Amino acid sequence: MDRTREEAEAGAAFDPKLIEPYIIKDPQALAINAAKALENLGKAATVWLKPREAGDFVDPVTEPVAELVKIMGKVAEYWMSDPKRTLEAQTHLLNAVFGVWSRSLARFATPEQTLADPLPKDKRFSDEDWERNPFFDFLRQTYLVLSQWAEKMVNDAGGLDEHTRHKANFYMRQITAALSPANFVATNPQLYRETVQSSGANLVKGMQMLAEDIAAGGGDLRIRQTDTSKFVVGENMAITPGKVIAQSDICEVIQYEPTTESVLKRPLLICPPWINKFYILDLNPQKSFIKWCVDQGHTVFVISWVNPDERHADKGWEAYIREGVDFALDTVEKATGEKEVNAIGYCVGGTLLAAALALHAQEKNKRIASATLFTTQVDFTYAGDLKVFVDEEQLSGLEEKMKETGYLDGSKMAAAFNMLRASELIWPYFVNNYLKGQDPMPFDLLYWNSDSTRMAAANHSFYLRNCYLNNTLSQGKMQLAGKTLSLNDVKIPIYNLATKEDHIAPAKSVFIGSSLFGGPVDFVVSGSGHIAGVVNPPDKQKYQFWTNGKVAGTYEDWMANAKETSGSWWPHWQVWIEKLEDERVQARKPGGDALNAIGDAPGRYVMARV
């Protein structure tokens, strides 16, 4: 009787259905496909090695790895230099692993009970077998506790300056993201099941895609994040009707066709970032901020920056102001006869616009009557993880490399931005493309994200040194056109938009910068992040925004007492604009009577790809 009960309990502890999907059904087919996958992997290796053997490719991986080893070595040195600290680190690790072991044993002993899981939820482990299957559950728990332990070792390491600790935390997150069991066939239940089900056909296609993506990157892996064949700029993206009415060496100026009989007297000039292309604000008619502005009665002008090459090596911030912002202001005046404009700056385009405003204030130039800043930093004290890449040693090395070509290749910035969110922008696509063998879905935002731009050497160097490294604009020390700039000289009204989950321009950083201007500032926080928080059409009824009057106190206190409003901030901004000046005039055609169209929007500069 007792033996029968023990057998029943053993049967209850083991469910054969849990392992059935993991049993290989066709070993011969799997072996054949494994050979094909290895053949495709060999092709990928050949493509990767070819430019390196020719000596015309500097491996972009070696320097970050060298920096990682150096930084993590400092952390290890702290814990290994003192036996007591070494024992403390080992004790933390053993306690963490023992906790996993104890929970696993308890689960085997009482399989019918649901045990509380003290570990944080992680969407990488959403497949039910990560918890239902004991083997994968053990892997998941072990990975999570080891990640927590590694993070603690960095945070508790003594003798590190703030910048070194920031870099150590950043690189540790890169390591733990890369080593997740979700990234490997044998340790990911979904990947394992799909490999068994398809007899390895997923890996055959995946390795073929890997070879194609290395070839597309010229020897560097360029992970595809979307189906690029579904998008064409000027055909189904950036299609708001307009004309290119002026062109300088570094930008084109686009004016859009009106859709209303009357328009606001004061035109609107948009200064986008040159790190990405302007059509993030004109992805398609449903998401287009530009089209929405036109429909509200704005006469919209947009700066479309050139995709620079060696000819633009010496174009610095002063050139981008004179031949970009000021050139566009001259164009607006010629096309409309108006001397005053409302201006918008997005991200680094906003930082440039803020510097231009400070310069204009000293030159008694009053053509910009109001400024709206999207996710713009003017103080870089809390600039987030991008500061990891900027210190004197790294910046000097980057400047030496830019001297060779006159620019920074766009893929380098794209890689840096992807590393900020590696668990979302790198590894899910690595798994989907190369291990599942699935083509990514078409997504307009990711197509835009992949349409990278170069950075002119002088421009990029000035930006990194004066903003991220030395923070000169916020301190009133930035030198441009022979003048020392102060944001306190900027007295015009400013609408300063931050986004709550921004990893590029953190909301706290934008908040602090708001207090530096000399005029009235309306600080607004939108839900979501750097892109979705800005590109949020009202009819989508997504996210929310927060308002709380003047900027005062800390960002945390401001948010705690802010008023939350559901939906898009766009109508709120429109009300702000019209309170400043709501006079209307007859709608204007692109170029007016003074300028002839050079070509149709979106123009020629935006078409250059790297």
Torsion (CA) 569, 574, 579, 584 in degrees, nearest 10: 180
Rounded Cα distance between 276 and 451, Å, is 8
User: Would you mind telling me the total number of residues written for the chain in this entry?
Assistant: 610
218: enclosing H helix or E strand: none
Q: CA nearest 265: which of 339, 200, 319, 201?
A: 339
Residue type, 399: E
The single residue listed with the structure tokens 């109001």 is: 370
Q: CA nearest 535: which of 504, 499, 572?
A: 499
Q: What angle do CA 465, 466, 472 make, to 5 degrees?
A: 140
Q: CA nearest 455: which of 249, 604, 310?
A: 310
Helix 134-156 / helix 83-109 crossing angle, nearest 10 deg: 160
DSSP secondary structure letter of residue 600: E
Can you read off the two tokens belonging to residue 240?
A: 């708001």
The single residue listed with the structure tokens 């070819």 is: 50
Q: Taking a C-beta distance cutoff of 8 angstroms, is the pair 504, 420 a contact?
A: yes
Rounded Cα distance between 247 and 252, Å, is 4
Annotation marks residue 347 as catalytic: yes
Three-state SS across 373-426? EECCCCCCCCCHHHHHHCCHHHHHHHHHHHHHHCEECHHHHHHHHHHHCHHHHC
Rounded Cα distance between 510 and 558, Å, is 13
Give me the numbers of helices (H) and strands (E) for the chain, helices first please.
Answer: 22, 17
DSSP secondary structure letter of residue 325: I
Helix 62-80 / helix 134-156 crossing angle, nearest 10 deg: 80
Rounded Cα distance between 374 and 504, Å, is 12
Please tell me which residue in 251, 293, 347, 467 is annotated as part of the active site. 347
HSE (CB half, 13 Å, CA atoms) of 184? Answer: 11
Q: List active site positions.
A: 347
